[in-house]
């Protein structure tokens, strides 16, 4: 029996090893586009990854810290901001898959304070006019921004020291404050981008699992995928190598920014709370692990399955909104209808972005920490077109398409 287990373990190791093999494309499309911007100082530094069915172009150009001339690398931590939302979507999808949750369940089934909600009709002379919500708020709505919640609750105001999306309050408290606050519209009738709604989804996860959402995320997603550098509280050692934040200028070099109102220093002390809407730190290497898992329909590059194929296809890769309300799934931007040329993924406040096409096994990852105009976006789009228009020769790469069930 022991021998059987050893053989199985060896087979798994060999399979995982084959899956993680990537062929260097030996192209420099991104570098050619970005080099002039880096040379002029307009762009401090950036990471670009183009991946096409086993063939990958990786570009790390410029600096994580211009003043110290510290090169940007795949292992520098950075604030991925709203890209955190997709991680919440995966935790919700897992519970749906396990039969512990339905997307059309009322939020009040798990969080009783949401039983009676009020909708804002208007405000005059400081007096608000409300009516009792007629529509039932569902889990689906809070995850796809159709619940009617504001961007952030009052306790997480950016203009208050210690506020912002990673400050102000823990997830369960955020949900309670949101339940006691008026909605901007009837649930399900419009869309309004909302970190609050995603945090409510995370609070539902906490109610079902009995765990803090961030601990459930770590146990079920981060650790299985080997994402050891991803967390809400980066270590002091990690922060010494972080990608610094810059403000870009219309004419002139980018200027270093001490901090942003929405994510304030110190980044890992007691004022920081986990938020499912934003706030998760990561590295480019770690982020690739998460998005390649989505691209591979639930299986990480290490061979570990996080979600079933159908779960990714039906809950994450395509919109969960009513028809005609735009594309968005569970914490991820997604098309209204799936197709072989459709991508899904998410961006973050400081310019980061990652999107995947599961049909063609393609991925585009972009890491910067910038605010302001970004004139390289259009040229980078053309660089991506050049890369993906090439004939792919991935011979020797065991590029799987979700064989592991």
* Per-residue model confidence (pLDDT) at position 167: 86
Residue 368 CA to residue 374 CA, distance in Å, equals 10
DSSP 173-230: HHHHHHHTS-BSS-TTSS----HHHHHHHHHHHHHHHSS-HHHHHIIIIIHHHT-TT-
Residue that has been written with the tokens 């708020």 in this structure: 137
Q: Is the dihedral of CA 9, 11, 15, 21 positive or negative?
A: positive
pLDDT > 90 fraction of the chain, expressed in percent and rounded? 88
Residue 311 CA to residue 230 CA, distance in Å, equals 24
**Confidence check: pLDDT of 141 > 50:** yes
Residue 19 pLDDT grade (very low, low, confident, very high; cuts 50, 70, 90): low
Residue 379 pLDDT grade (very low, low, confident, very high; cuts 50, 70, 90): very high
**Confidence check: pLDDT of 10 > 60:** no
* Per-residue model confidence (pLDDT) at position 263: 94
Residue 279 CA to residue 348 CA, distance in Å, equals 10
Contact status, residue 41 vs residue 253, Cβ threshold 8 Å: yes
**Residues 327-354, mean pLDDT to the nearest whole number:** 98
**Confidence check: pLDDT of 154 > 80:** yes
Listed in sequence order, the DSSP H helices in 20-115 are 29-40, 84-97
pLDDT digits (tens, 9 = 90+) for 57-108: 999 999 999 999 999 999 999 999 999 999 999 999 999 999 999 999 999 9
Residue 400 pLDDT grade (very low, low, confident, very high; cuts 50, 70, 90): very low
Residue 168 pLDDT grade (very low, low, confident, very high; cuts 50, 70, 90): confident
* Residues found in the chain: 405
**Confidence check: pLDDT of 186 > 70:** yes
Contact status, residue 201 vs residue 207, Cβ threshold 8 Å: no
Three-state DSSP at 160 gives coil
* Per-residue model confidence (pLDDT) at position 403: 33
* Per-residue model confidence (pLDDT) at position 20: 60
Q: Are strands 23-24 and 78-79 parallel, antiparallel or unpaired?
A: unpaired
User: What's the first-to-final CA gap in the chain, in angstroms?
Assistant: 24
* Per-residue model confidence (pLDDT) at position 368: 98
**Residues 141-170, mean pLDDT to the nearest whole number:** 93
| 210 Rama class: left (phi>0) / alpha (psi -120 to 50) / beta | left
* Per-residue model confidence (pLDDT) at position 358: 98
**Confidence check: pLDDT of 386 > 50:** yes
**Residues 358-369, mean pLDDT to the nearest whole number:** 98
**Confidence check: pLDDT of 3 > 50:** no
**Residues 312-332, mean pLDDT to the nearest whole number:** 97
**Residues 105-120, mean pLDDT to the nearest whole number:** 98
Angle 228-85-347 (CA atoms, 0-180°, nearest 5)? 90
**Residues 48-61, mean pLDDT to the nearest whole number:** 98
The CATH number of domain 23-388 is 3.40.50.1000: no
Structural domain boundaries in the chain: 23-388
* Per-residue model confidence (pLDDT) at position 391: 84
Q: How deeply is 240 buried, as exposed, middle or buried, from its count of CB atoms within 10 A (0-12, 13-18, 19+)?
A: exposed
Take residue 288 and report the two structure tokens written for it.
């690739």
Contact status, residue 71 vs residue 274, Cβ threshold 8 Å: no
**Confidence check: pLDDT of 115 > 60:** yes
**Confidence check: pLDDT of 14 > 90:** no
Q: What is the DSSP letter of 156?
A: G
Helix-, strand-, coil-residue percentages of the chain, each rounded to 5: 35, 15, 50
pLDDT digits (tens, 9 = 90+) for 253-303: 999 999 999 999 999 999 999 999 999 999 999 999 999 999 999 999 999
pLDDT digits (tens, 9 = 90+) for 206-220: 999 999 999 999 999
Residue 394 pLDDT grade (very low, low, confident, very high; cuts 50, 70, 90): low
Q: Is the dihedral of CA 269, 142, 287, 347 positive or negative?
A: negative
Among residues 335, 336, 32, which one has the least CA distance to residue 344?
A: 335
């Amino acid at each position: 029996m022991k021998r059987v287990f050893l053989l199985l373990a060896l087979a798994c190791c060999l399979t995982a090893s084959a899956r993680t093999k990537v062929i260097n494309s030996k192209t420099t499309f991104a570098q050619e586009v970005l080099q002039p911007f880096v040379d002029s100082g307009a762009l401090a530094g950036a990471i670009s990854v183009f991946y096409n069915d086993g063939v990958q172009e990786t570009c790390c150009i410029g600096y994580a810290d211009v003043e110290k001339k510290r090169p940007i690398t795949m292992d520098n931590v950075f604030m991925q901001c709203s890209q955190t939302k997709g991680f919440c979507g995966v935790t919700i999808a897992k519970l749906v898959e396990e039969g512990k949750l339905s997307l059309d369940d009322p939020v009040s089934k798990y969080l009783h304070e949401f039983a009676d909600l009020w909708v804002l009709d208007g405000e005059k002379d400081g007096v608000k006019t409300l009516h009792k919500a007629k529509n039932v708020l569902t889990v689906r709505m809070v995850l796809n921004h159709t619940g009617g919640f504001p961007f952030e609750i009052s306790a997480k105001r950016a203009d208050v020291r210690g506020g912002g999306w990673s400050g102000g309050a823990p997830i369960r408290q955020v949900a309670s404050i949101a339940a006691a606050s008026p909605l901007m519209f009837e649930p399900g009738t419009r869309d309004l981008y909302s970190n609050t709604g995603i945090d409510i989804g995370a609070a539902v996860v906490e109610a079902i699992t009995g765990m803090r959402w961030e601990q459930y995320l770590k146990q079920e997603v981060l650790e299985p995928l080997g994402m050891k550098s991803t967390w809400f509280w980066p270590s002091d050692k990690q922060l010494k190598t972080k990608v610094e934040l810059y403000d870009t200028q219309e004419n002139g070099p980018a200027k270093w920014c001490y901090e942003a109102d929405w994510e304030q220093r110190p980044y890992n002390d007691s004022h920081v709370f986990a938020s499912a809407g934003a706030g998760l730190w990561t590295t480019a290497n770690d982020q690739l692990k998460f998005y390649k898992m989505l691209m591979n329909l639930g299986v990480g590059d290490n061979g570990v399955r996080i979600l079933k194929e159908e779960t990714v296809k039906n809950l994450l890769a395509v919109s969960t909104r009513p028809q005609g309300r735009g594309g968005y799934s569970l914490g991820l931007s997604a098309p209204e209808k799936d197709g072989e040329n459709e991508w899904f993924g998410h961006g973050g406040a400081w310019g980061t972005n990652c999107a995947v096409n599961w049909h063609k096994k393609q991925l585009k990852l972009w890491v910067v920490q910038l605010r302001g105009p970004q004139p390289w976006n259009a040229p980078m789009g053309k660089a991506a077109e050049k890369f993906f228009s090439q004939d792919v020769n991935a011979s020797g790469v065991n590029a799987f398409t979700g064989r592991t069930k």
